[in-house]
Amino acid sequence: MSKLLYIKASPRGSASKSSAVADVYVATLRDRLPDLVVDTLDLAQERLPEFDGDKVAAKMAVIAGQAHEGRQKTAWDEITAVANRFISADRYLIAAPMWNGGIPYRLKQYIDVIHQPGLLWGLDPQTGYFGLLKNKKAVLALTSGAFSPSMPSPAFGVDHHSTYLRDWLNQAGVTDIEEIRFQPTLLNPDPERSFDAAAAVAQFFAARA
């Protein structure tokens, strides 16, 4: 049995183009893997804990090798509960529109909560960061209004979107990453054809996953 964590970063519900592309991937993967378990995490609906001072202190305690006590322990338990949902998945599907060149703030909040020492990464004083996740795969369903890799940059935007997600996943130990791009969605002379092309890529990736 394989478990897919499907993370929706757009708050637009059924109007979300990134989710529409990702849904094609999910449908195809379900056909290929009948025992697939899909855990959908809609960040617009999910209650995410604030990454407050207690959580920062708990994080620094882990880095320093210190035990958690009192409020720090409560904060770390809350972090661990959210992170374990991510860690338990075999595959990740992240549907993320580009916001101001980067990722939506709720996705950034989610990453800030779960990307913790001893959970997703470790730090060697001599060699640097290393990921703790093993044998995971990720697919990014990416959309943007004006930006696309074929458009002049920075005139039509700069991609801190896919690069951020890739760097984060790499640091956690996830290196098997594929991208599905429907870009641009607004400045597009034929959006239906472009969506169909993205959907075909989604089907291709899912068919060989």
Q: What is the pTM of this model?
A: 0.95
- Looking up tokens 């056909």 gives 31
| pLDDT tens digits, one per residue of 67-115 | 998 999 999 999 999 999 999 999 999 999 999 999 999 999 999 999 9
Cα separation of 179 and 106, whole Å? 20
Q: At residue 180, does pLDDT exceed 80? A: yes
User: Where in the chain does DSSP place strands (E)?
Assistant: 3-8, 37-42, 91-97, 121-124, 128-131, 137-143, 176-182
Calculate what percentage of the chain has a pLDDT beyond 70: 100
User: Is it the case that residue 209 has pLDDT exceeding 90?
Assistant: no
Distance CA 92, CA 39 (A): 10
Residue 76's contacts (CB-CB under 8 Å, 6 or more residues apart) are 55, 58, 61, 62, 68
Known binding-site residue numbers for FMN: 10, 16-18
* Predicted local confidence at residue 17, as pLDDT: 98
Show the tokens assigned to 203: 């089907």
Report whether 127 contacts 66 (CB < 8 A). no
For 46, the 3-state DSSP assignment is coil
Using CA atoms, how far residue 31 sits from 61, 89, 153, 178, 197, in Å, is 45, 19, 39, 19, 20
Provide the residue type at 106 as one letter. R
Q: Are 37 and 1 in contact (CB under 8 A)?
A: yes
